[in-house]
Amino acid sequence: MAYMELHLLAGGGGGTVYHCRACDKPTGAYIALDGRVRLIAALRQPVVMKVALESDDDTRAEARTLKLLAHPHVTAVLGVFSGPMMTAEGEVDVVGMLMPLADEPLSAVWSRGTDPRRLLVHLASGLAHIHSLQYIHGDLHIGNVLRFKDQWKLCDIGGFVVGVATRCMQLGTPYWSRSPEVAEHLAEVERIVGGSDAGRKPRLRARQAAAAAVRESARTRVALRHAIRIPAAPEMDVWALGSLVYTVATRLHWLGPPPSVDSYGWSTHPIEPELEAHDAARRSTKQRLRAVSSLGELGPLIVSCLHPSGRPTAGTVERLARV
């Protein structure tokens, strides 16, 4: 009997990622391969499996999205497994998405430095493809970029449809990939619902979102945050791309050191400090870029990605970064 042994690589909000290895006598967590031809074939190369409970539908949706968005700068998906996984705690029914094992995630190397131009070209190319199919990534940050040989690829793609009202809480990670317009929208609706908006003239969209949020559920701050929506837009990814490349090229976090907010703490974390960080970063970007020689000619392009409005498309960023 053949088995697939699962070794923990990383655990996140969307699932647990395991490095998988074929073996005859498994230890720890494993999956029995018994006749599972596609899984056995996949194990001929180093693979990982992103595993979630069977009751969680997101993994299948993520696999479908990745297949649809297949591109040289998007992580490939080799298949989906569904069935029992044996763990020390017993048997659990899981859904697993098989992917080739990356050499390393960007999060492991960014502080050592990496060629920002190549990173910008590869990621802009992947984003331009995703955007051309009317989807956005939605959470582009250093933890969601992987290196395969000399190629950078996007992973953990939310696959939000352009123009469709999407929960702000899904559009980016605070201080990393959440664009200022999403943070501002969240703050504005919170102010309207909380009644602290006196004297201001809320934008129509924020007013509508506030009414919808109240209708859906505004009993607690967490429920309110989860109800607030904004249309998904490619510019949000372009902002996150600018923020990411700035961070990698300067080895400085774009918005200043992020506060220690774990992924479950965002729902209650106050939004005002994030908005202040956005404002301060926006005011000082040009000066900061002038002082950073590592950015060289990329500086103005990165600044344009971080612009509050009128950002270039990912396709334009790719073209300009190539020259």
Q: Which of 2, 5, 14, 221 binds ligand ATP (CB under 6 A)?
A: 14
Query: DSSP string of 134-162?
Result: TEE-S--SGGGEEEETTEEEE-S---EET
Q: Which of 101, 109, 162, 212 binds ligand ATP (CB under 6 A)?
A: 101
Q: Which does 258 bind (CB under 5 to 8 A by kind): Mg ion, ligand ATP, none?
A: none
Q: Which of 39, 78, 95, 102 binds ligand ATP (CB under 6 A)?
A: 102
Identify whether the C-beta of residue 110 lies closer than 8 Å to the C-beta of residue 247.
yes
Sequence-distant (6+) residues with CB within 8 A of 20 are 4, 5, 6, 7, 43, 47, 48, 49, 98
Q: Which is nearer to ligand ATP, 12 or 300 (CB)?
A: 12
Q: Per rule CB under 6 A, is residue 65 in the interface with ligand ATP?
A: no
User: Where does this chain touch ligand ATP (CB under 6 A) — which range of 95-103, 219-227, 246-254, 271-279?
Assistant: 95-103
Q: Per rule CB under 6 A, is residue 26 in the interface with ligand ATP?
A: no
Residue at shortest CB range from Mg ion? 156
User: Where does this chain touch ligand ATP (CB under 6 A) — which range of 96-104, 164-172, 179-187, 307-315?
Assistant: 96-104
Q: Per rule CB under 6 A, is residue 59 in the interface with ligand ATP?
A: no
Q: Which of 12, 72, 163, 194 binds ligand ATP (CB under 6 A)?
A: 12
Q: Which of 59, 65, 75, 243 binds ligand ATP (CB under 6 A)?
A: 75
Q: Per rule CB under 6 A, is residue 15 in the interface with ligand ATP?
A: yes
Q: Per rule CB under 6 A, is residue 50 in the interface with ligand ATP?
A: yes
Identify whether the C-beta of residue 145 lies closer than 8 Å to the C-beta of residue 123.
yes
Least Å distance, CB 204 to ligand ATP, is 33
CA distances to 59, 101, 201 from 82, in Å: 10, 19, 51
Q: Which of 13, 72, 270, 296 binds ligand ATP (CB under 6 A)?
A: 13
Q: Which is nearer to ligand ATP, 138 or 234 (CB)?
A: 138
Orientation angle between helical segments 272-290 and 234-250, nearest 10 degrees: 60
Catalog residues that contact Mg ion under the rule CB under 5 A.
12, 143-144, 156
CA-nearest of 44, 52, 46, 101 to 81 is 52
In angstroms, rounded to a whole number, what is the distance separating the alpha carbons of residues 115 and 250? Answer: 11
Q: Per rule CB under 6 A, is residue 146 in the interface with ligand ATP?
A: yes
Q: Which is nearer to ligand ATP, 103 or 279 (CB)?
A: 103
Sequence-distant (6+) residues with CB within 8 A of 50 are 14, 15, 16, 17, 59, 62, 96, 97, 99
Residue 197: burial class (beta carbons within 10 Å; 0-12, 13-18, 19+): middle
User: Where does this chain touch ligand ATP (CB under 6 A) — which range of 10-18, 66-74, 268-276, 308-316?
Assistant: 10-18
CA-nearest of 163, 130, 149, 148 to 241 is 130
In angstroms, rounded to a whole number, what is the distance separating the alpha carbons of residues 158 and 170? Answer: 8
- In terms of phi and psi (left: phi > 0; alpha: psi -120 to 50; beta: otherwise), the region of 169 is alpha
Q: Which of 66, 80, 95, 105 binds ligand ATP (CB under 6 A)?
A: 105
Q: Which does 105 bind (CB under 5 to 8 A by kind): ligand ATP, Mg ion, none?
A: ligand ATP
In angstroms, rounded to a whole number, what is the distance separating the alpha carbons of residues 157 and 109? Answer: 21
Name the residues that contact ligand ATP, by CB under 6 A: 9-10, 12-15, 17, 48, 50, 75, 99, 101-102, 105, 107, 143-144, 146, 155-156, 263
